[in-house]
């Protein structure tokens, strides 16, 4: 594939992409946290975040994305799997069956009293795996000549 | 320790995930893979011990009661199969460490092999039919990776066929589960076993049973669903082929074992005849293929089909004796097929050709390889003190007790064909004159490679000689199959 010698001028696309990127990411985080009580969760949140990254890929190129977000998505997949498995494993040490979840109320700075559930850590694992896998697929297909 | 049944699944998974962080550090990968497998083997042996003392071990994941959550059930059948599959994965990985080059190993090879074991162990342990499907997908995905790794043209071609067949089979699996769920409203195997006899229209259940046999027959290469097997297996590199030949088809066989005895009341119904006819056809086509070919890999691949047919015949007869025979033969066959595939892979690696007419006289340069192959061949055919004998004996006597004559004689005849086909490899490959200098890529490593194969064969021979000692375990494994109430009570704990 030959690059065009004359750079294309897509100021509108790039400017819009930067703004929309943040809106999509915030929406995906909202979806991720909404998962327990309303539609959403790790899978759809992860897909939405990676779609925001794909938008950056379309507006700029893969090299730019790498400099802005220097993330190895394969390691991200592995991290996600490790978090998910670790969350499932923790109950073993308390003598409970595998995958037993726990929750408690915590007093967090800024947020006040909040209930935290280990299912969110499992979901975080799913979220990272989905982003990692999607971006690995897109990057490897995009970069192979 | 209530979590014992999960450990043979979690340990290789955890090791594989940690190994994903450093795909290029080949030495660490090898050490971690072998270490995790040794640990898994110890845990699964402990599991066998626990099950033999305390009976069936169940684990309700997430502390949800039995029909509502996922239950893992380790009865003796699944504990024995988990131990066998872990044991042979350990030896195959040991073989692979010497067999592959570093550039090949750096592409997540051991990660995929460990995930394959995760899927297989999970499929053996689960007590939920949809979870069974998920574990099927786990090991199928790993097998797609393993079959295509290396990227030679033939691998790409055959992996497309393999993928297509397995995707269709998986879709059928989902449909069968959906149908079963719509009829009974539950997915837990023990709960299904309780609800199915209450269904008024038993013809629906028979139809679902046939669908399940088609699905598992596609995974386990039953005739007429076997067409993908020879091509897909012949292109895989030797250690991968050894894992596939030993594990993948046997998970299909195990699933038929489990569903046929637990869910569908087999005796005297259409389902029994159906399974029996398919088993006999499989033996027949396997025999034809085993003597027809001149390619050493294909000969052993068709021997898989004979073994699957023999085991399924024993299952379809569905008596205490024949089921014991089937289980005994299943474990023997998993071990011995891995041994044989590694041995013929070494022969091909040394002579640079898979065809018998290009080999000859290997015994003078590689005596250890030759005699290991000889013992493995006799064991495969079922010569009395070796491990293939007792299983077939029990299957044949189980069939005879039910007043059948044709199929038991066919099983005996198939032994003759098996012996003929592997002795053909031995005589043409190891005896006679060397056709040329054998300096293939594996020739310098042959001495190191033969050690894991020899040890695995030693386990298999010990399994044959220790048949009397193994027998109580086999009997205990068959108990919940003959009387499903034991299984149901253990899971639902009324």
Strand, coil or helix: A136: helix
- CA dist B349 and B343 (Å) reads 10
Q: Is B150 exposed, middle or buried (0-12, 13-18, 19+ CB in 10 A)?
A: middle
Q: Which two tokens stand for residue B321?
A: 């004796």
pLDDT band at A83 (very low <50, low <70, confident <90, very high): very high
Name chain A contacts of B59, Cβ cutoff 8 Å.
Answer: 97-98
Q: Which two tokens stand for residue A50?
A: 């990676």
Q: Examine the pLDDT at A2 and tell me if it is beyond 60.
A: no
| Cβ neighbours around A144 below 10 Å, total | 6
Q: Which two tokens stand for residue A54?
A: 């794909």
**CA of A4: how far to CAs of A1, A7, B200, in Å?**
9, 7, 71
User: Which residues lie closer than 8 Å to A84 by C-beta, 6 or more apart?
Assistant: A121, A122, A125, A126, A129
**Which of A81, A96, A98 comes nearest B17 by C-beta?**
A81
**Which of B14, B20, B59 comes nearest A97 by C-beta?**
B59
- CA dist B249 and B244 (Å) reads 7
CA B207 to chain A, closest CA, distance in angstroms equals: 35
Give me the pLDDT at residue B267, please: 66
Phi, psi of B234 (to 5 degrees): -70, -20
CA B450 to chain A, closest CA, distance in angstroms equals: 35
Give me the pLDDT at residue A3, please: 54
pTM to 2 decimal places: 0.94
Quote ipTM for the complex.
0.91
B154 near B148, Cβ under 8 Å? no
User: Which residues lie closer than 8 Å to B301 by C-beta, 6 or more apart?
Assistant: B229, B230, B233, B234, B245, B289
Residue contact B62–A98, C-beta within 8 A? yes
A100 and B CB contact within 8 Å? yes
Give me the pLDDT at residue B150, please: 86
Nearest to B229 by CA among B152, B156, B300, B126: B300
Give me the pLDDT at residue B253, please: 94
* DSSP state string for B298-342: HHHHHHHHHHHHHHHHHHHH-SHHHHHHHHHHHHHHHHHHHHHHH
Nearest to B301 by CA among B344, B332, B360: B344
Residue contact B3–A81, C-beta within 8 A? no
- CA dist B297 and B343 (Å) reads 10
Q: Which two tokens stand for residue B182?
A: 């719509």
| Cβ neighbours around A118 below 10 Å, total | 17
CA B12 to chain A, closest CA, distance in angstroms equals: 12
Strand A103-108 and strand B57-60: the pairing is unpaired
B132 near B123, Cβ under 8 Å? yes
Residue contact B13–A85, C-beta within 8 A? yes
Q: Which two tokens stand for residue B88?
A: 């042979």
- CA dist B135 and B117 (Å) reads 10
C-alpha triplet B82, B85, B87: angle, nearest 5°: 105
Domain extent listing, chain B: 4-491
Note which residues in 70-99 of chain A have CB less than 8 A from chain B.
74-75, 77-78, 81-82, 85, 89, 92, 95-99
Q: Examine the pLDDT at A20 and tell me if it is beyond 80.
A: yes
Q: Which residues of chain B have pLDDT under 70?
A: 266-268, 494
Closest chain A residue by Cα to residue B6 = A98
Closest chain B residue by Cα to residue A102 = B62
């Amino acid at each position: 594939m030959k690059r065009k010698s004359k750079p294309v001028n897509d100021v509108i696309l790039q400017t819009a992409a930067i703004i929309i990127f943040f809106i999509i990411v915030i929406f995906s985080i909202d979806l991720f946290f909404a998962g327990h009580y309303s539609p959403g969760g790790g899978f759809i949140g992860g897909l939405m975040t990676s779609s925001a990254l794909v938008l950056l890929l379309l507006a700029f190129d893969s090299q730019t994305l790498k400099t802005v977000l220097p993330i190895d998505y394969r390691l991200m997949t592995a991290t996600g799997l490790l978090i998910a498995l670790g969350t499932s494993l923790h109950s073993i040490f308390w003598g409970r069956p595998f995958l037993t979840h726990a929750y408690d109320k915590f007093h967090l700075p800024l947020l006040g009293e909040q209930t935290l559930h280990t299912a969110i850590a499992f979901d975080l694992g799913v979220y990272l795996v989905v982003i990692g896998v999607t971006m690995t697929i897109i990057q490897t297909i995009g970069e192979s000549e | 320790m209530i979590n014992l049944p999960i450990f043979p699944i979690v340990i290789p998974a955890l090791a594989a995930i940690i190994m994903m962080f450093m795909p290029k550090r080949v030495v660490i990968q090898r050490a971690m893979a072998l270490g995790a497998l040794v640990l898994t083997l110890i845990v699964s042996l402990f599991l066998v011990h626990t099950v033999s003392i305390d009976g069936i071990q169940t684990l309700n994941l997430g502390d949800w009661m039995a029909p509502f959550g996922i239950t893992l059930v380790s009865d003796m059948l699944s504990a024995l199969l988990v131990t066998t599959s872990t044991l042979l994965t350990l030896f195959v990985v040991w073989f692979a460490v010497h067999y592959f080059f570093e550039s090949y190993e750096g592409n997540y090879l051991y990660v995929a092999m460990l995930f394959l074991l995760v899927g297989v162990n999970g499929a053996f342990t689960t007590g939920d039919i949809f979870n069974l499907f998920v574990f099927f997908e786990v090991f199928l995905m790993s097998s797609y990776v393993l079959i295509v790794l290396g990227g030679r043209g033939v691998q790409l071609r055959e992996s497309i066929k393999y993928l297509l067949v397995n995707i269709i089979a998986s879709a059928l699996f989902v449909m069968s589960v959906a149908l079963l769920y719509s009829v009974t409203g539950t997915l837990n195997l023990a709960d299904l076993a309780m609800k199915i006899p209450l269904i008024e229209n038993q013809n629906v259940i028979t139809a679902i049973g046939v669908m399940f046999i088609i699905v598992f027959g596609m995974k386990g290469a039953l005739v007429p669903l076997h067409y993908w097997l020879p091509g897909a297996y012949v292109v895989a590199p030797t250690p991968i082929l050894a894992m596939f030949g030993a594990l993948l088809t046997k998970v299909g066989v195990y699933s038929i074992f489990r569903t046929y005895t637990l869910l569908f009341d087999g005796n005297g119904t259409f389902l029994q005849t159906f399974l029996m006819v398919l088993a006999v056809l499989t033996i027949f086509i396997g025999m034809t293929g085993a003597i027809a070919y001149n390619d050493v890999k294909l000969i052993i691949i068709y021997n898989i089909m004979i073994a699957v047919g023999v085991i399924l015949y024993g299952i379809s007869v569905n008596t205490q004796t024949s089921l014991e025979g089937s289980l005994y033969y299943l474990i023997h066959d998993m071990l011995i097929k891995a041994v044989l595939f590694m041995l013929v892979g070494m022969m091909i690696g040394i002579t640079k050709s898979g065809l018998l007419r290009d080999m000859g006289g290997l015994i003078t340069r590689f005596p250890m390889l030759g005699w290991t192959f000889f013992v493995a061949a006799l064991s495969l055919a079922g010569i009395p003190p070796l491990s293939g004998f007792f299983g077939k004996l029990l299957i044949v006597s189980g069939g005879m007790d039910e007043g059948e004559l044709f199929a038991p004689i066919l099983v005996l005849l198939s032994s003759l064909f098996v012996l003929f086909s592997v002795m053909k490899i031995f005589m043409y490959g190891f005896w006679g004159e060397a056709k040329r200098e054998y300096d293939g890529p594996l020739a310098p490593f042959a001495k190191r490679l033969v050690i894991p194969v020899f040890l695995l064969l030693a386990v298999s021979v010990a399994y044959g000689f220790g048949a009397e000692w193994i027998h109580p375990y086999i009997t205990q494994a068959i108990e919940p199959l003959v009387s499903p109430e034991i299984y149901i009570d253990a899971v639902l704990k009324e």
